[in-house]
Amino acid sequence: MAKARAPHQHQEEPIRNFSKTLIDTQMNIYESEWELNAEDMGLHPTAETQWNFHKFTLHGGKQQGVDILTLNNGRMEFDIVLSRGMNILDASLDDIFFGWDSPVGGAACEAIHPAYVRLEEKGG
């Protein structure tokens, strides 16, 4: 479940809570693509409110069907691999990028679908 809480615009305004279930196997819920940003929450875009969430599904090759959630607060951005136990795939802060090379091959920061990971093998 993804949850977002709108930041304060003014001290007097109450915090608005927002909840959205993106994936739930028990309730048979699956959103293949979804996005939320400051404007969706009724906030005017400013430097302090340039945040967004974006959920999408990768297609092609070993990453077919992998679900990613990108969180961006305007300065820092990171990708969470929902299909791989909520792993952080990569992150960036200003011009600094953090990522890793998959031990099962593929491009740097490629999200390999769990079906292609052989846990019993070296590097799996």
Q: Is the pLDDT of residue 74 over 70?
A: yes
Q: What percent of the chain has pLDDT over 90?
A: 35
Q: How far apart are CA 82 and CA 57, in angstroms?
A: 10
Residue 102: its pLDDT value, please? Answer: 58
Residue with tokens 């491009």: 107
pLDDT digits (tens, 9 = 90+) for 17-67: 788 999 999 999 999 999 998 888 877 767 666 889 999 999 998 889 999
> In the sheet that 76-81 helps form, which strands lie side by side, from edge to edge?
34-37, 52-57, 67-72, 76-81, 87-93, 96-98
- At 121, the pLDDT band (50, 70, 90 cuts) reads confident
Instruction: Give the pLDDT of residue 14.
Output: 45
The pTM for the full model equals: 0.72
Helix (H) or strand (E) holding 29: strand 29-30
Mean pLDDT in residue range 85-96: 89
Confidence of residue 124 (pLDDT cuts 50, 70, 90): low
